[in-house]
Structure 1
Amino acid sequence: MNHLVVISGCSGGGKSTLLAELARRGYGVVDEPGRRIVRDELARNGTALPWIDGAAFARRAMSLAHADRAASLQSGDWVFFDRSLVDAAAHLQQLTGEPVLKSLAEPRLYHRCVFLVPPWPEIYETDPERQHDFTDAVAEYERLLIAYPALGYGIAVLPKVSVAARAEIILHMLEG
Protein backbone atom coordinates (compact mmCIF):
# COMPACT_ATOMS: atom_id res chain seq x y z
CA MET A 1 0.00 0.00 0.00
CA ASN A 2 1.23 3.45 -0.88
CA HIS A 3 1.95 5.40 2.34
CA LEU A 4 2.47 8.80 0.68
CA VAL A 5 -0.69 10.80 1.40
CA VAL A 6 -1.63 14.08 -0.27
CA ILE A 7 -3.50 16.86 1.47
CA SER A 8 -4.46 19.40 -1.15
CA GLY A 9 -7.31 21.67 -2.10
CA CYS A 10 -8.06 25.33 -1.77
CA SER A 11 -5.30 27.76 -0.87
CA GLY A 12 -5.96 29.18 2.56
CA GLY A 13 -8.18 26.23 3.50
CA GLY A 14 -6.07 25.05 6.42
CA LYS A 15 -3.66 22.57 4.81
CA SER A 16 -0.51 23.85 6.49
CA THR A 17 -2.16 23.96 9.90
CA LEU A 18 -3.41 20.41 9.41
CA LEU A 19 0.06 19.22 8.39
CA ALA A 20 1.51 20.85 11.52
CA GLU A 21 -1.01 18.89 13.61
CA LEU A 22 -0.03 15.63 11.92
CA ALA A 23 3.66 16.43 12.50
CA ARG A 24 2.87 17.14 16.16
CA ARG A 25 1.40 13.64 16.33
CA GLY A 26 4.68 12.19 15.06
CA TYR A 27 3.95 11.70 11.38
CA GLY A 28 6.28 12.69 8.57
CA VAL A 29 5.18 15.75 6.66
CA VAL A 30 6.44 17.49 3.54
CA ASP A 31 5.90 21.23 3.27
CA GLU A 32 4.25 22.73 0.21
CA PRO A 33 6.72 23.13 -2.67
CA GLY A 34 5.14 26.40 -3.77
CA ARG A 35 5.71 28.17 -0.47
CA ARG A 36 9.32 27.00 -0.35
CA ILE A 37 9.89 28.25 -3.90
CA VAL A 38 8.30 31.62 -3.20
CA ARG A 39 10.45 32.13 -0.08
CA ASP A 40 13.58 31.23 -2.03
CA GLU A 41 12.71 33.41 -5.02
CA LEU A 42 11.83 36.39 -2.82
CA ALA A 43 15.09 36.02 -0.87
CA ARG A 44 17.15 36.15 -4.04
CA ASN A 45 15.00 38.51 -6.10
CA GLY A 46 14.12 35.69 -8.47
CA THR A 47 11.33 35.63 -11.02
CA ALA A 48 9.97 32.06 -10.74
CA LEU A 49 7.01 33.43 -8.81
CA PRO A 50 3.34 32.74 -9.58
CA TRP A 51 2.65 36.44 -10.14
CA ILE A 52 5.71 37.04 -12.37
CA ASP A 53 6.50 33.82 -14.29
CA GLY A 54 3.84 31.28 -13.44
CA ALA A 55 5.12 28.63 -15.85
CA ALA A 56 8.66 28.76 -14.42
CA PHE A 57 7.16 28.58 -10.94
CA ALA A 58 5.02 25.53 -11.85
CA ARG A 59 7.95 23.74 -13.52
CA ARG A 60 10.09 24.32 -10.44
CA ALA A 61 7.22 23.11 -8.21
CA MET A 62 6.97 19.92 -10.29
CA SER A 63 10.69 19.31 -9.90
CA LEU A 64 10.63 19.92 -6.16
CA ALA A 65 7.51 17.77 -5.67
CA HIS A 66 9.16 14.95 -7.61
CA ALA A 67 12.27 15.18 -5.38
CA ASP A 68 10.11 15.32 -2.23
CA ARG A 69 8.28 12.17 -3.27
CA ALA A 70 11.50 10.33 -4.09
CA ALA A 71 13.00 11.31 -0.72
CA SER A 72 9.94 9.96 1.11
CA LEU A 73 9.69 6.55 -0.54
CA GLN A 74 11.85 4.81 2.07
CA SER A 75 9.60 5.72 4.99
CA GLY A 76 7.51 2.83 6.23
CA ASP A 77 4.96 5.04 7.96
CA TRP A 78 2.46 7.54 6.64
CA VAL A 79 4.04 10.64 5.10
CA PHE A 80 1.72 13.58 4.48
CA PHE A 81 2.32 16.02 1.64
CA ASP A 82 1.10 19.62 1.52
CA ARG A 83 0.21 19.45 -2.18
CA SER A 84 1.82 17.14 -4.72
CA LEU A 85 3.25 16.70 -8.16
CA VAL A 86 -0.33 16.57 -9.44
CA ASP A 87 -1.06 20.06 -8.09
CA ALA A 88 2.00 21.52 -9.83
CA ALA A 89 1.24 19.70 -13.09
CA ALA A 90 -2.40 20.87 -13.03
CA HIS A 91 -1.19 24.43 -12.53
CA LEU A 92 1.32 24.19 -15.39
CA GLN A 93 -1.25 22.60 -17.67
CA GLN A 94 -3.76 25.35 -16.88
CA LEU A 95 -1.16 28.05 -17.66
CA THR A 96 0.42 26.59 -20.79
CA GLY A 97 -1.99 24.01 -22.20
CA GLU A 98 0.80 21.40 -22.09
CA PRO A 99 -0.76 17.97 -21.36
CA VAL A 100 1.55 17.30 -18.40
CA LEU A 101 -1.09 15.58 -16.27
CA LYS A 102 -1.22 12.64 -18.70
CA SER A 103 2.36 11.75 -17.80
CA LEU A 104 1.29 11.20 -14.17
CA ALA A 105 -1.50 8.73 -14.89
CA GLU A 106 0.38 5.47 -14.26
CA PRO A 107 1.58 4.30 -11.88
CA ARG A 108 -0.30 6.08 -9.13
CA LEU A 109 2.35 8.14 -7.33
CA TYR A 110 0.54 8.66 -4.01
CA HIS A 111 -2.00 6.92 -1.80
CA ARG A 112 -5.25 6.29 -3.66
CA CYS A 113 -7.20 8.68 -1.41
CA VAL A 114 -6.39 12.39 -1.64
CA PHE A 115 -7.73 14.66 1.09
CA LEU A 116 -8.95 18.04 -0.10
CA VAL A 117 -9.64 21.09 2.01
CA PRO A 118 -12.54 23.05 0.51
CA PRO A 119 -12.78 26.81 0.06
CA TRP A 120 -13.21 28.38 3.48
CA PRO A 121 -13.58 32.16 3.14
CA GLU A 122 -13.72 32.71 6.90
CA ILE A 123 -10.09 31.61 7.32
CA TYR A 124 -8.65 32.65 3.92
CA GLU A 125 -5.86 35.22 4.07
CA THR A 126 -3.31 36.56 1.64
CA ASP A 127 0.30 37.07 2.71
CA PRO A 128 3.62 37.80 1.00
CA GLU A 129 3.78 34.18 -0.22
CA ARG A 130 0.09 33.92 -1.19
CA GLN A 131 -0.88 36.94 -3.21
CA HIS A 132 -3.77 35.55 -5.23
CA ASP A 133 -7.32 36.34 -4.18
CA PHE A 134 -10.02 33.98 -2.96
CA THR A 135 -11.61 33.69 -6.41
CA ASP A 136 -8.31 32.36 -7.81
CA ALA A 137 -8.03 29.97 -4.87
CA VAL A 138 -11.50 28.57 -5.60
CA ALA A 139 -10.64 28.14 -9.29
CA GLU A 140 -7.51 26.22 -8.26
CA TYR A 141 -9.62 23.97 -6.00
CA GLU A 142 -12.07 23.27 -8.82
CA ARG A 143 -9.19 22.25 -11.14
CA LEU A 144 -7.94 19.81 -8.51
CA LEU A 145 -11.43 18.32 -8.08
CA ILE A 146 -11.13 17.29 -11.74
CA ALA A 147 -7.40 16.49 -11.97
CA TYR A 148 -7.10 13.96 -9.17
CA PRO A 149 -10.06 11.74 -10.15
CA ALA A 150 -8.94 11.90 -13.79
CA LEU A 151 -5.70 10.25 -12.65
CA GLY A 152 -7.51 7.53 -10.70
CA TYR A 153 -7.42 9.03 -7.20
CA GLY A 154 -10.37 9.05 -4.85
CA ILE A 155 -11.22 12.36 -3.22
CA ALA A 156 -12.20 12.91 0.40
CA VAL A 157 -13.28 16.50 1.00
CA LEU A 158 -12.56 17.39 4.60
CA PRO A 159 -15.29 19.16 6.54
CA LYS A 160 -14.85 22.63 7.99
CA VAL A 161 -14.13 21.44 11.51
CA SER A 162 -11.27 21.85 13.97
CA VAL A 163 -7.74 20.90 13.01
CA ALA A 164 -7.73 18.03 15.50
CA ALA A 165 -11.01 16.69 14.09
CA ARG A 166 -9.66 16.87 10.53
CA ALA A 167 -6.55 14.94 11.59
CA GLU A 168 -8.72 12.29 13.23
CA ILE A 169 -10.84 11.94 10.10
CA ILE A 170 -7.77 11.40 7.94
CA LEU A 171 -6.16 8.90 10.28
CA HIS A 172 -9.42 6.98 10.74
CA MET A 173 -9.94 6.76 6.96
CA LEU A 174 -6.36 5.60 6.38
CA GLU A 175 -6.47 2.99 9.12
CA GLY A 176 -9.96 1.79 8.22
Structure 2
Amino acid sequence: MKQTSSKLYILTGGPGAGKTSVLNELNRNGFITVPEEGRRIIKEQISSNGTALPWKDKKRFADLMFGASVDTFQKMSKLASQAVFFDRGILDTIGYLKLEKIPVPEEMSLKAHEMKYHNNVFILPPWKEIYENDPERKQTLEVAKATFDCMKETYLEYGYNLIEVPKLTIEQRVEFILDIIENELKL
Protein backbone atom coordinates (compact mmCIF):
# COMPACT_ATOMS: atom_id res chain seq x y z
CA MET A 1 0.00 0.00 0.00
CA LYS A 2 1.33 3.41 -0.86
CA GLN A 3 1.38 6.24 1.66
CA THR A 4 -2.02 7.88 1.91
CA SER A 5 -2.72 11.47 2.77
CA SER A 6 -5.81 10.41 4.71
CA LYS A 7 -6.20 11.95 8.14
CA LEU A 8 -8.22 8.99 9.40
CA TYR A 9 -6.10 7.33 12.09
CA ILE A 10 -6.70 3.92 13.66
CA LEU A 11 -5.96 2.83 17.22
CA THR A 12 -5.99 -0.96 17.34
CA GLY A 13 -4.73 -3.88 19.41
CA GLY A 14 -6.24 -6.39 21.75
CA PRO A 15 -8.95 -5.60 24.27
CA GLY A 16 -7.95 -3.84 27.49
CA ALA A 17 -4.76 -2.22 26.14
CA GLY A 18 -5.90 1.36 26.80
CA LYS A 19 -7.26 2.33 23.37
CA THR A 20 -10.44 3.90 24.73
CA SER A 21 -8.54 5.87 27.39
CA VAL A 22 -6.17 7.25 24.73
CA LEU A 23 -9.12 8.04 22.45
CA ASN A 24 -10.90 9.88 25.27
CA GLU A 25 -7.77 11.93 25.95
CA LEU A 26 -7.45 12.80 22.26
CA ASN A 27 -11.08 13.94 22.38
CA ARG A 28 -10.36 16.09 25.46
CA ASN A 29 -7.53 17.64 23.41
CA GLY A 30 -10.04 18.75 20.76
CA PHE A 31 -9.68 15.94 18.22
CA ILE A 32 -12.58 14.20 16.52
CA THR A 33 -12.80 10.65 17.82
CA VAL A 34 -14.90 7.63 16.92
CA PRO A 35 -15.65 5.11 19.68
CA GLU A 36 -15.39 1.37 19.12
CA GLU A 37 -18.35 -0.01 17.15
CA GLY A 38 -18.07 -3.48 18.69
CA ARG A 39 -18.56 -2.23 22.24
CA ARG A 40 -21.58 -0.16 21.16
CA ILE A 41 -23.12 -3.15 19.40
CA ILE A 42 -22.56 -5.38 22.44
CA LYS A 43 -24.31 -2.84 24.70
CA GLU A 44 -27.24 -2.56 22.26
CA GLN A 45 -27.55 -6.34 21.92
CA ILE A 46 -27.47 -6.86 25.68
CA SER A 47 -30.12 -4.20 26.31
CA SER A 48 -32.41 -5.60 23.59
CA ASN A 49 -31.77 -9.28 24.45
CA GLY A 50 -30.23 -9.69 21.01
CA THR A 51 -28.01 -12.57 19.97
CA ALA A 52 -25.41 -10.72 17.82
CA LEU A 53 -22.85 -11.03 20.59
CA PRO A 54 -19.30 -12.41 20.43
CA TRP A 55 -20.28 -15.15 22.91
CA LYS A 56 -23.52 -16.09 21.07
CA ASP A 57 -23.51 -15.36 17.31
CA LYS A 58 -19.98 -14.33 16.31
CA LYS A 59 -20.77 -14.07 12.57
CA ARG A 60 -23.80 -11.82 13.08
CA PHE A 61 -21.79 -9.69 15.53
CA ALA A 62 -19.00 -9.34 12.93
CA ASP A 63 -21.50 -8.41 10.20
CA LEU A 64 -23.00 -5.65 12.36
CA MET A 65 -19.56 -4.42 13.38
CA PHE A 66 -18.33 -4.34 9.77
CA GLY A 67 -21.42 -2.47 8.53
CA ALA A 68 -21.14 0.09 11.32
CA SER A 69 -17.40 0.57 10.65
CA VAL A 70 -18.03 1.15 6.94
CA ASP A 71 -20.79 3.68 7.70
CA THR A 72 -18.58 5.52 10.18
CA PHE A 73 -15.63 5.53 7.75
CA GLN A 74 -17.84 7.06 5.06
CA LYS A 75 -19.17 9.75 7.41
CA MET A 76 -15.77 10.64 8.82
CA SER A 77 -13.98 10.67 5.46
CA LYS A 78 -16.05 13.76 4.61
CA LEU A 79 -14.05 15.54 7.34
CA ALA A 80 -10.86 14.92 5.36
CA SER A 81 -9.25 18.21 6.35
CA GLN A 82 -9.21 17.26 10.06
CA ALA A 83 -7.55 14.40 11.90
CA VAL A 84 -10.03 11.78 13.05
CA PHE A 85 -9.08 8.99 15.46
CA PHE A 86 -10.94 5.65 15.44
CA ASP A 87 -11.05 3.09 18.23
CA ARG A 88 -10.64 0.20 15.77
CA GLY A 89 -11.43 0.20 12.07
CA ILE A 90 -12.81 -1.89 9.25
CA LEU A 91 -9.86 -4.29 9.35
CA ASP A 92 -10.51 -5.07 13.01
CA THR A 93 -13.63 -6.96 11.94
CA ILE A 94 -11.56 -8.98 9.47
CA GLY A 95 -9.00 -9.64 12.21
CA TYR A 96 -11.82 -10.74 14.53
CA LEU A 97 -13.16 -13.18 11.92
CA LYS A 98 -9.67 -14.63 11.43
CA LEU A 99 -9.19 -14.95 15.19
CA GLU A 100 -12.50 -16.82 15.45
CA LYS A 101 -11.62 -18.96 12.40
CA ILE A 102 -14.66 -17.69 10.48
CA PRO A 103 -14.14 -17.27 6.72
CA VAL A 104 -13.76 -13.64 5.64
CA PRO A 105 -16.34 -12.84 2.94
CA GLU A 106 -14.73 -11.61 -0.27
CA GLU A 107 -16.88 -8.46 -0.28
CA MET A 108 -15.47 -7.53 3.15
CA SER A 109 -11.93 -7.94 1.93
CA LEU A 110 -12.63 -5.88 -1.20
CA LYS A 111 -14.26 -3.12 0.83
CA ALA A 112 -11.29 -3.07 3.22
CA HIS A 113 -8.95 -2.58 0.25
CA GLU A 114 -11.12 0.27 -1.10
CA MET A 115 -11.58 2.21 2.12
CA LYS A 116 -8.16 3.48 3.16
CA TYR A 117 -7.24 4.93 6.51
CA HIS A 118 -3.94 6.70 7.08
CA ASN A 119 -1.06 4.35 6.32
CA ASN A 120 0.29 4.66 9.90
CA VAL A 121 -1.82 2.63 12.32
CA PHE A 122 -1.23 2.94 16.06
CA ILE A 123 -1.28 -0.44 17.79
CA LEU A 124 -1.42 -0.75 21.56
CA PRO A 125 0.20 -3.90 22.99
CA PRO A 126 -1.33 -6.13 25.67
CA TRP A 127 -0.72 -4.70 29.13
CA LYS A 128 -1.39 -7.05 32.03
CA GLU A 129 -1.27 -4.30 34.68
CA ILE A 130 -4.21 -2.34 33.20
CA TYR A 131 -6.24 -5.22 31.75
CA GLU A 132 -9.76 -5.51 33.21
CA ASN A 133 -12.93 -7.38 32.32
CA ASP A 134 -16.32 -5.66 32.23
CA PRO A 135 -19.83 -6.50 30.94
CA GLU A 136 -18.73 -5.97 27.31
CA ARG A 137 -15.20 -7.41 27.67
CA LYS A 138 -15.24 -11.05 28.72
CA GLN A 139 -11.99 -12.17 27.07
CA THR A 140 -9.05 -13.47 29.07
CA LEU A 141 -5.66 -11.78 28.91
CA GLU A 142 -4.50 -14.69 26.73
CA VAL A 143 -7.28 -13.95 24.22
CA ALA A 144 -6.32 -10.26 24.38
CA LYS A 145 -2.75 -11.22 23.42
CA ALA A 146 -3.98 -13.44 20.58
CA THR A 147 -6.21 -10.58 19.38
CA PHE A 148 -3.22 -8.22 19.37
CA ASP A 149 -1.23 -10.69 17.27
CA CYS A 150 -4.14 -11.19 14.88
CA MET A 151 -4.71 -7.43 14.44
CA LYS A 152 -1.00 -6.94 13.84
CA GLU A 153 -0.96 -9.66 11.18
CA THR A 154 -4.15 -8.36 9.50
CA TYR A 155 -3.05 -4.73 9.25
CA LEU A 156 0.36 -5.79 7.91
CA GLU A 157 -1.32 -8.08 5.38
CA TYR A 158 -3.29 -5.09 4.06
CA GLY A 159 -0.12 -3.01 3.77
CA TYR A 160 -0.42 -0.67 6.74
CA ASN A 161 2.57 0.57 8.74
CA LEU A 162 2.14 -0.36 12.40
CA ILE A 163 3.47 1.92 15.11
CA GLU A 164 3.46 0.35 18.56
CA VAL A 165 2.40 2.82 21.23
CA PRO A 166 4.61 2.37 24.32
CA LYS A 167 3.21 1.51 27.75
CA LEU A 168 3.23 5.01 29.26
CA THR A 169 0.70 7.26 30.97
CA ILE A 170 -2.35 8.15 28.91
CA GLU A 171 -1.05 11.69 28.38
CA GLN A 172 2.37 10.39 27.27
CA ARG A 173 0.74 7.94 24.86
CA VAL A 174 -1.26 10.78 23.31
CA GLU A 175 1.88 12.91 23.08
CA PHE A 176 3.69 10.00 21.39
CA ILE A 177 0.92 9.68 18.77
CA LEU A 178 0.67 13.42 18.13
CA ASP A 179 4.47 13.76 17.84
CA ILE A 180 4.51 11.11 15.10
CA ILE A 181 1.71 12.85 13.20
CA GLU A 182 3.36 16.25 13.60
CA ASN A 183 6.76 14.95 12.43
CA GLU A 184 5.08 13.31 9.45
CA LEU A 185 3.56 16.65 8.42
CA LYS A 186 7.05 18.19 8.40
CA LEU A 187 8.32 15.69 5.80
What's the TM-score, normalizing by structure 2? 0.90
Give CA deviations for 1:30-79 in whole Å, capped at 9, x if unaligned.
Answer: 00001000010011000000011111111110000001111101212100
Q: Aligned to 1:29, what secondary structure does the other structure show?
A: strand
Structure 2 residue 175 is matched with structure 1 residue 163: no
Aligned partners of 2:94 and 2:104 also within 8 Å: no
Aligned partners of 1:86 and 1:104 also within 8 Å: no
- Residue ranges of structure 1 left out of the alignment (5+ in a row): none
CA distance in 1, matches of 2:96, 2:152: 13
CA distance in 1, matches of 2:126, 2:11: 14
Structure 2 residue 155 is matched with structure 1 residue 148: yes
CA distance in 2, matches of 1:105, 1:82: 16
Deviation at 1:97, TM superposition (A): 2.2
Residue 88 of structure 2 is matched in structure 1 by 83
Residue 30 of structure 2 is matched in structure 1 by 26
Structure 2 residue 137 is matched with structure 1 residue 130: yes
Structure 2 residue 4 is matched with structure 1 residue 4: no
CA distance in 2, matches of 1:99, 1:55: 11
- Alignment length (residue pairs): 176
Letter in 2 for 1:85: I
Aligned partners of 2:131 and 2:141 also within 8 Å: yes
Residue 75 of structure 2 is matched in structure 1 by 71
Deviation at 1:104, TM superposition (A): 4.6
User: Percent identity among equivalent residues?
Assistant: 35
What RMSD in Å do the two structures reach over aligned CA positions?
Answer: 1.3
